[in-house]
C-alpha cells in the first residue's frame, strides 16, 4: 500500500502542480490582459495629452500672432464704453433736468386753470362791456343825431335871427334918424 499510496500521492502532487500551473497560467493571462488594457489606457491618455498640448501651443501661437489686433479691439471697445458712459451721464443729467422741469408742471397747470377761469370771467365781463359799449354807441349816435338836429335848428334860428335883425334894423330906422337929429350926448 505504500506504493499505491505513494503513487496516489505522486498523482496528487502532480495534479496539484498541474492545477497550480493552470492557476499561474491564468494569472499570467490576466496580467497580460490587464497589461494590455493599461497600455491602451496609457496610450490614450498620452494621445489626449499630446492633442491638448498641441491645442495649447496652437492657442499660444494664435494668441501671440493676434495679440496686437486683440489689443486694438479692446482699446476701441474701451473708447466706445467711455463714450457710452459719457452719453449715459449726459442722459442722466437731462433726465434729472426734465424731472426738475416737470416738477413745476402741476403748479403751472393749476395756474393755467386759474388763468382760464379768470379769462372765462373776463370774457363774460368783456361781453357785458361790449353790450354797454354798443348801448353807448347807440346813445352817441342819438346824441349826434340830436346835435345835428340842433345844428339844423340853429341854422334855421340864425336865419330867423338874421331876418329878425333885419326887421329890427328896419323898425329902428326911424329912431336912428331921430337920434341923428337929437343926440343924447
| Count of the separate structural domains present in the chain | 2
CA–CA gap between residue 66 and residue 58 (Å, rounded): 12
Reported as a single tens digit per residue, the pLDDT across 14-47 is 888 999 899 999 999 999 999 999 999 999 999 9
The full 3-state SS of 114-129, as one line of letters, equals: HHHHHHHHHHHHHHHH
Q: Do 54 and 12 share a structural domain?
A: yes
Reported as a single tens digit per residue, the pLDDT across 57-88 is 998 888 788 778 778 888 888 888 788 888 88
In a domain, 108, yes or no: no
DSSP for residue 184: -
CA–CA gap between residue 175 and residue 185 (Å, rounded): 16
Q: Is 172 helix (H, G, I), strand (E, B) or coil?
A: coil
* 77 or 2, which is more confident: 77
Label residue 54 by pLDDT band (50, 70, 90).
very high
pLDDT at res. 25? 92
Q: Which of 35-49, 106-120, 138-152, 157-171 has the highest mean pLDDT?
A: 35-49
In a domain, 157, yes or no: yes
C-alpha cell at 56: 495649447
In a domain, 178, yes or no: yes
Instruction: Print the domain residue range for 39.
Output: 1-103
* 26 or 163, which is more confident: 26
CA–CA gap between residue 116 and residue 129 (Å, rounded): 19
Give me the mean pLDDT over the 47-54 stretch: 94
Q: Do 89 and 17 share a structural domain?
A: yes
DSSP for residue 183: -
pLDDT at res. 130? 87
pLDDT at res. 3? 58
Q: Do 49 and 10 share a structural domain?
A: yes
Judged against a pLDDT cut of 70, whether residue 145 lies above it is answered with yes
Using CA atoms, how far residue 145 sits from 138, 141, 152, in Å, is 10, 6, 10
Judged against a pLDDT cut of 80, whether residue 102 lies above it is answered with no
Averaged confidence pLDDT in the chain:
82
pLDDT at res. 4? 59
Grid cell 343924447 in the structure block, residue: 184
Q: Do 137 and 71 share a structural domain?
A: no
In a domain, 86, yes or no: yes
Label residue 56 by pLDDT band (50, 70, 90).
very high
Q: φ and ψ at 184, to 5 degrees? A: -85, 5
* 2 or 89, which is more confident: 89
pLDDT at res. 2? 57
Amino acid at each position: 500500500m505504500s506504493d499505491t499510496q505513494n503513487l496516489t500521492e505522486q498523482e496528487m502532487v502532480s495534479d496539484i502542480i498541474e492545477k497550480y500551473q493552470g492557476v499561474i497560467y491564468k494569472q499570467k493571462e490576466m496580467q497580460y490582459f490587464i497589461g494590455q488594457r493599461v497600455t491602451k489606457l496609457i496610450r490614450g491618455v498620452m494621445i489626449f495629452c499630446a492633442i491638448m498640448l498641441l491645442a495649447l501651443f496652437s492657442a499660444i501661437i494664435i494668441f501671440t500672432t493676434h495679440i496686437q489686433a486683440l489689443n486694438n479691439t479692446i482699446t476701441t471697445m474701451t473708447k466706445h464704453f467711455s463714450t457710452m458712459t459719457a452719453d449715459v451721464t449726459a442722459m442722466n443729467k437731462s433726465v434729472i433736468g426734465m424731472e426738475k422741469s416737470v416738477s413745476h408742471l402741476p403748479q403751472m397747470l393749476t395756474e393755467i386753470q386759474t388763468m382760464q377761469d379768470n379769462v372765462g370771467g373776463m370774457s363774460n365781463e368783456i361781453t357785458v362791456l361790449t353790450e354797454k359799449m354798443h348801448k353807448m354807441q347807440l346813445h352817441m349816435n342819438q346824441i349826434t343825431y340830436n346835435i345835428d338836429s340842433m345844428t339844423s335848428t340853429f341854422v334855421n334860428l340864425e336865419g330867423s335871427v338874421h331876418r329878425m335883425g333885419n326887421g329890427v334894423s328896419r323898425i329902428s330906422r326911424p329912431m336912428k334918424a331921430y337920434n341923428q337929429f337929437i343926440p343924447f350926448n
